[in-house]
């Protein structure tokens, strides 16, 4: 929020009690994230900002909190809006009702589809939505050279982008092999950050390689899987994000790391979270409830959800209830359940007793009028089943092993089932075929592999959400259903599909092939229906579509698949599906 002379003059008078404020919150129990204290106090608000803390009487509106708790608005320290499958407007509206008034977003999903215009899109939408959007400029567009992305952002682009004060730094540096090997293009990106935060993305990196990664300028990490891994990174100077998303749930694993000495260097993030989980459990508010339940320490939980992220990113106007800060506040009833009653955003009531007072500004017509380029990102109509055939070229194949609730994968060596000299899916062994089809440039690239861990015995699932290049990814028990699922996705302009013969379900995601025009309730209901369908096929994963989306992410160990073929962690380029000498 820009500070103007007339605003400061008004705040001075209201703070001193010589002029009427806009709103007084009386008789609340204030959680002071700056001092770590909890005490009774009034809060007076003017011009969308907090003017004073103490005892106040003079305002145009007074709300008696009657002993309820007053907490700063929550901050998601790292999130991809696109992973919610919601438009920015609907994402913001949904989160404000859950007490999340600020989000540090990384638009690298959309940036890998449309490039720099993705950043402009989110910055423009930030002016319209009922919450604070801060942007980290994507560092890996594309993530590696082992896949085909829709766009590229070069190091020379970063300095101009980073001039915008709403762009806080460099987003997750996923190409850690490029950093530690001294790739000059990668190092130029780090230098362009100019001392601003650089978020990390280096699961399992340790020892001297980790030291090199941090020495290059990386300042945080959200990919830790164990407290031991997080402790090493914390010791070496990184801030640690405790993440709880849809595909990766690490908060409880990392929580034993946090103590009174280091908690100020830990904060919360959801990273990737599907809409049905937001509706059912919440967002950052859910993480706060988890920490309170596990530790019985609400102050620590709230600090990790507010001031810690604000201080890491240099956001001095949010994260605390104090004079001169933006009036982003939550009224909480039962603290043990972190029961959110009222949300105040920039001094205005945005949510109260189950009712939203912030309306959506966007619609399908709005996007077609303002962002037509986001609606034409599918340079493919589909593929034929013949394109998915795998001729036998050996006896053993490399297989991607899904690790539930993690985005890292294992690598297995298996004997494939063979029919007519072709390797085929073997559902009885939970060995499904996997394919990634390039959808940005019409190259015709199709990468094919095999995967274990989905568990379903019929049908196929496909998605244009396939981190990070977001080509079409499909897993299935037979080539016909796989091809049909890809055709459904392409015809919708992007989306998530499930096909079993004549049964065909689709959630359209026409905004960049990643986001929907619909509201959270409709998208969430669609996701529940899709997950239920896959479970009826014998699927064993809680969220098979989120797990599917990460099987194309080549910067994450151990084995992944892109449109150009398999990629193994630590190995340059693409590798063969078939084992050598077999």
- Between strands 472-476 and 23-32, the pairing is unpaired
Other CB atoms within a 10 A radius of the CB of residue 152 amount to 12
The DSSP call for residue 579 is: P
pLDDT score at 474: 98
**CA 118/CA 122 separation, integer angstroms:** 6
Cβ pair 53, 322 in contact under 8 A: yes
List the domains of the chain with CATH numbers: 73-319 (3.20.20.140), 375-568 (no CATH)
**CA 152/CA 156 separation, integer angstroms:** 11
pLDDT score at 570: 73
Rounded to an integer, the average pLDDT of 494-521 is 96
Q: What mean pLDDT value characterizes the chain?
A: 95
Cβ pair 157, 164 in contact under 8 A: no
For residue range 536-555, list pLDDT tens digits in order: 999 999 999 999 999 999 98
Q: In the structure encoding, which two tokens stand for residue 62, read together?
A: 């007074």
For residue range 200-254, list pLDDT tens digits in order: 999 999 999 999 999 999 999 999 999 999 999 999 999 999 999 987 899 999 9
Taking only Cα atoms into account, the Rg of the chain, rounded to an integer number of angstroms, comes to: 24
Give me the long-range contacts of 314-318 (CB less than 8 A, separation at least 24).
314/168, 314/197, 315/75, 315/102, 315/134, 315/168, 317/1, 318/72, 318/73, 318/75, 318/101, 318/102, 318/132
Cβ pair 99, 74 in contact under 8 A: yes
pLDDT score at 2: 66
258 Cβ contact partners less than 8 Å away, ≥ 6 residues apart:
242, 266, 300, 304
Q: How confident is the model at residue 581 (pLDDT cuts 50, 70, 90)?
A: low
For residue range 124-176, list pLDDT tens digits in order: 999 999 999 999 999 989 888 889 999 999 888 988 999 999 999 999 998 89
What are 134's strand-pairing partners? 104
- Would the pLDDT of 4 be above 90? no
| pTM for the full predicted model | 0.93
Residue 485's closest CA among 523, 534, 540?
Answer: 534
Name the E strands within 501-578: 503-508, 559-562, 565-568
pLDDT score at 1: 56
444 Cβ contact partners less than 8 Å away, ≥ 6 residues apart:
438
Cβ pair 83, 110 in contact under 8 A: no
């Amino acid at each position: 929020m820009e500070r103007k002379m007339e605003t400061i003059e008004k705040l001075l008078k209201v703070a001193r009690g010589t002029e009427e404020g806009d709103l007084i919150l009386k008789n609340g129990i204030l959680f002071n994230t700056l001092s770590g204290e909890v005490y009774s106090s009034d809060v007076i608000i003017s011009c969308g900002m907090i003017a004073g803390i103490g005892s106040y009487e003079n305002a145009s509106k007074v709300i008696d909190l009657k002993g309820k708790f007053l907490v700063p608005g929550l901050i998601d320290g790292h999130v991809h809006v696109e992973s919610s499958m919601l438009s920015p407007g609907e994402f913001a509206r949904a989160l404000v009702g859950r007490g999340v008034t600020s989000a540090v977003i990384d638009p690298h999903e959309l940036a890998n589809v449309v490039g720099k215009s993705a950043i402009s899109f989110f910055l423009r939408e930030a002016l319209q939505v009922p919450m604070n959007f801060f942007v980290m400029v994507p560092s890996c567009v594309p993530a590696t050279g082992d896949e085909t992305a829709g766009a590229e952002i070069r190091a020379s682009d970063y300095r101009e982008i980073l001039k915008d004060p709403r762009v806080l730094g460099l987003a997750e540096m996923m190409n850690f092999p490029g950093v530690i090997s001294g790739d000059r293009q990668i190092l130029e990106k780090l230098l362009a950050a100019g001392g601003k935060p650089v978020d990390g993305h280096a699961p399992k990196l340790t020892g001297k390689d980790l030291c090199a990664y941090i020495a290059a300028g990386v300042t945080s990490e959200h990919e830790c899987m164990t407290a031991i891994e997080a402790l090493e990174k914390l010791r070496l100077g990184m801030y640690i994000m405790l993440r709880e998303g849809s595909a990766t749930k690490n908060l409880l694993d990392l929580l034993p790391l946090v103590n009174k000495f280091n908690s100020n260097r830990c904060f919360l993030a959801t990273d990737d979270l599907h809409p049905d989980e937001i509706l059912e459990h919440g967002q950052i508010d859910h993480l706060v409830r988890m920490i309170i339940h596990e530790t019985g320490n609400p102050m620590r939980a709230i600090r990790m959800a507010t001031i810690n992220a604000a201080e890491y990113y240099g956001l001095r106007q949010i994260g605390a209830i104090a004079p001169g800060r933006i009036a982003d506040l939550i009224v909480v009833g039962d603290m043990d359940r972190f029961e959110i009653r009222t949300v105040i955003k920039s001094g205005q009531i945005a949510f109260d007793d189950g009712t939203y007072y912030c309306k959506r500004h966007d619609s399908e017509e709005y996007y077609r009028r303002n962002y037509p380029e986001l609606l034409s990102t599918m340079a493919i109509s589909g593929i034929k089943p013949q394109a998915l055939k795998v001729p036998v070229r050996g006896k053993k194949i490399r297989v991607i092993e899904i690790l539930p609730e993690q985005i890292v994968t294992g690598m297995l060596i298996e004997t494939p089932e063979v029919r007519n000299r072709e390797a085929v899916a073997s559902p009885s062994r939970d060995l499904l075929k996997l394919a990634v089809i390039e959808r940005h440039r019409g190259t015709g690239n199709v990468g094919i592999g095999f995967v274990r861990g989905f568990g379903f015995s019929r049908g196929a699932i496909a998605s244009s959400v396939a981190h990070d290049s977001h080509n079409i990814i499909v897993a299935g028990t037979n080539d016909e259903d796989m091809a049909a699922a890809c055709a459904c996705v392409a015809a919708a302009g992007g989306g998530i599909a499930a096909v079993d013969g004549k049964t065909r379900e689709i959630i359209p995601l026409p905004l960049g092939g990643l986001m929907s025009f619909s509201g959270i309730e409709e998208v969430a209901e669609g996701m529940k229906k899709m997950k239920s369908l896959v479970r009826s096929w014998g699927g064993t994963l809680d969220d098979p579509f989120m797990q599917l989306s990460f099987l194309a992410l080549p910067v994450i160990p151990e084995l992944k698949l892109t449109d150009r073929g398999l990629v193994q962690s630590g190995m340059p380029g693409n590798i063969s599906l078939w084992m050598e000498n077999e």
